[in-house]
Amino acid sequence: MKVVYCSLLVFVITLRGCFLSDAYIDPTYGFVEVMLNQSNFEYQKPYDTPLDQRYSYQNGTHRFWVYADDKPFSLGSNTQPRTEIRILPDYTSGIWQFEGMAFVPNGTSGATIVQIHGAAHGNTTILLRIFNGDMRYYSTPVIATDLYDKWFKLNLIHDVDGGKVAVFIDNEERFKIHDQGPSMLHFKFGVYGAPRNISYYMESRWKDVKIYKKC
Ligand SMILES: *[C@@H]1O[C@H](CO)[C@@H](O)[C@H](O)[C@H]1NC(C)=O
Ligand SMILES: *[C@@H]1O[C@H](CO)[C@@H](O)[C@H](O)[C@H]1NC(C)=O
Ligand SMILES: *[C@@H]1O[C@H](CO)[C@@H](O)[C@H](O)[C@H]1NC(C)=O
Ligand SMILES: *[C@@H]1O[C@H](CO)[C@@H](O)[C@H](O)[C@H]1NC(C)=O
Ligand SMILES: *[C@@H]1O[C@H](CO)[C@@H](O)[C@H](O)[C@H]1NC(C)=O
């Protein structure tokens, strides 16, 4: 009896340890969710193409796709084609977090699937691109590999006050870097053709997209 009791106790303590460390590795620990509704989403897609030819929302999954020879999001823009959701409103200070489950089909390459737009220096704080199944910060360095055809959890923390951005894949911190200075900032997700090495067809899928803020 004593032995059973003891191993039960050890089991309970181990379980508790697991839950505690889970709390620590959950990147949203200490953050509060910011409730989003449709008014927080601005859809960007090739300006001459109806949204439903580049985007769908079914069963809680956003699907974005775009072709390398599509038009930019606005007439006269010299940017590469995109189908993205911009999350409104902009933030300018504090600590913010984007979370989502992402899926990129094999074949999509060169595409930015998530970004923080705005920066004191340049146009963006961070671009996360998929090249041949690997995720890169801009064109280099590699943050994660072998991401095709599977759902993965992505968390992006932007500490504007501390000037830092961190990337988590499946709850593991994979990358941290200085940001590009404060500005009018917002998260975007979808597909955006990076300047070089883009595949003709680019697609990403997203679900459980959430925004959090540290109090
Ligand atoms: C959607 O969110 C906005 C901004 O947070 C809020 O002002 C608005 O009342 C919300 N609309 C609905 C239908 O909940
Ligand atoms: C959505 O869910 C329904 C019911 O489970 C299923 O029949 C359908 O194939 C799903 N559609 C997509 C695009 O996953
Ligand atoms: C992606 O597709 C290519 C071409 O069909 C194939 O060679 C490769 O093994 C695939 N990669 C993965 C990770 O499935
Ligand atoms: C910022 O965006 C503008 C407009 O698309 C572009 O002309 C400019 O080259 C970009 N600047 C940088 C540093 O990428
Ligand atoms: C881009 O394409 C060129 C030419 O195919 C190749 O040499 C280079 O490694 C590619 N870069 C990336 C990041 O895939």
Q: Is the pLDDT of residue 18 over 50?
A: no
Residue from 55, 56, 57, 59 to probe ligand 2 pocket by mutation (most atoms less than 8 Å from CB): 59
Predicted local confidence at residue 194, as pLDDT = 82
53 SS3 class: helix
Q: Residue type at 183?
A: S
How far is residue 62's CA from residue 52's CA, in Å, rounded to a whole number? Answer: 11
- Specify the residue for token string 């913010």: 96
Q: What CATH number did the domain enclosing 115 receive?
A: 2.60.120.200
10 SS3 class: helix
- The structural domain count of the chain equals 1
Whether 3 is in a domain gets the answer no
Q: Is the pLDDT of residue 8 over 60?
A: no
147 SS3 class: coil
**Selection from 78, 79, 89, 81 nearest residue 65 by Cα:** 81
Whether 92 is in a domain gets the answer yes
What is the number of the ligand 4 atom nearest to the C-alpha of 122?
A: 13
CA 103 to centroid of ligand 3, rounded, Å: 15
- 148-185 pLDDT, tens digit each: 999 999 999 999 999 999 999 999 999 999 999 999 99
Q: What angle (nearest 5°) sits at the alpha carbon of residue 116, between those of residues 114 and 120? A: 155
Residues 6+ apart with CB under 8 A from 23: 29
Q: Residue 208's domain spans which residues?
A: 29-214
How far is residue 149's CA from residue 183's CA, in Å, rounded to a whole number? Answer: 35
Per-residue pLDDT band for 200 (boundaries 50, 70, 90) equals: very high
Predicted local confidence at residue 25, as pLDDT = 80
Predicted local confidence at residue 23, as pLDDT = 45
CA dist 85 → 31, 33, 174, 214 (Å):
22, 18, 24, 23
Whether 4 is in a domain gets the answer no
How far is residue 17's CA from residue 90's CA, in Å, rounded to a whole number? Answer: 38
Whether 180 is in a domain gets the answer yes
In the chain, the percentage of residues whose pLDDT exceeds 70 is 89
- 84-101 pLDDT, tens digit each: 999 999 999 999 999 999
CB of 133 shorter than 6 A to ligand 3: yes
The pTM of this model reads 0.86
Q: Which residues line ligand 1 (CB under 6 A)?
A: 37, 39
Whether 23 is in a domain gets the answer no
> Which of 4-8, 107-111, 131-135, 141-145 is least confident?
4-8
